């Protein structure tokens, strides 16, 4: 990637990372779901990132979306994207995919909006654990991944978005979002570099 002057800065990763696995739910992989994405290769890569994090003592957190009765806690967001009504209550489509399922002791945060930070305890948990770098995998690149990365940097964390472990409904949208995130808010890494980083950070 090449960037204009003034948008070519970089952030050095810290020594205390955590992984946030964003909304890797069945809704994005079930062909019968209107939210289904065109490919799932990034899900397998996300699973590798989680496996490496666990092996190296890096905390892993998960998010999923769920709404209360009538979706009232979804505000105008659930009206803008009517497909989100499929995530009202304990929906099967809201369950995290088995490839990236939480292990015992891992935190699962339930959210109603795009960012993993908005309306959740994520920032306070990460600060309590002394985390300085947030490695982000999940879906979708232009929505929840972007929003979470922006909020991460605004909360003082270094965001690393794993390019081959996030996905979107359209490759052009996906690529454009990664480009803009690198220019303004985050570092965009491929998974091999992330696995090497975890190994170096391992406890």
- Mark whether 36 is an active-site residue: no
Q: How far is CA 176 from CA 6, 17, 115, 170, 179, in A?
A: 18, 26, 19, 10, 5
Is residue 164 within 8 Å of 135, Cβ to Cβ? no
Q: What are the φ/ψ torsions at residue 50 (nearest 5 degrees)? A: -65, -45
From 144, 163, 166, 178, the catalytic residue:
144
User: Helix, strand or coil for residue 171?
Assistant: helix
Tell me: cis bond preceding 90? Omega within 30 of 0 counts.
no
Instruction: Write out the catalytic residue numbers.
Output: 144
């Amino acid at each position: 990637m090449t960037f204009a002057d003034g948008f070519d800065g970089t952030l050095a990763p810290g020594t205390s990372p955590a992984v946030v696995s964003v909304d890797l739910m069945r809704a994005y992989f079930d062909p019968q779901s209107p939210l289904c994405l065109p490919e799932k290769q990034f899900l397998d890569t996300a699973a590798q990132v989680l496996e490496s994090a666990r092996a190296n003592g890096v905390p892993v957190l998960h998010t999923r979306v769920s709404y209360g009765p009538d979706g009232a806690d979804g505000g105008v967001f659930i009206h803008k994207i009517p497909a989100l009504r499929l995530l009202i209550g304990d929906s099967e489509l809201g369950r995290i995919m088995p490839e990236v399922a939480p292990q015992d002791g891992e935190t699962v945060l339930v959210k109603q909006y795009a960012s993993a930070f908005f309306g959740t305890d994520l920032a306070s948990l990460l600060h309590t654990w002394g985390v300085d770098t947030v490695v982000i995998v999940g879906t979708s690149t232009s929505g929840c991944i972007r929003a979470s990365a922006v909020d991460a940097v605004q909360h003082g964390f270094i965001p690393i978005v794993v390019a081959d472990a996030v996905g979107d409904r359209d490759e052009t949208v996906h690529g454009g979002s990664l480009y803009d995130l690198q220019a303004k808010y985050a570092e965009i890494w491929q998974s091999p570099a992330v696995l090497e980083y975890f190994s170096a950070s391992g406890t």
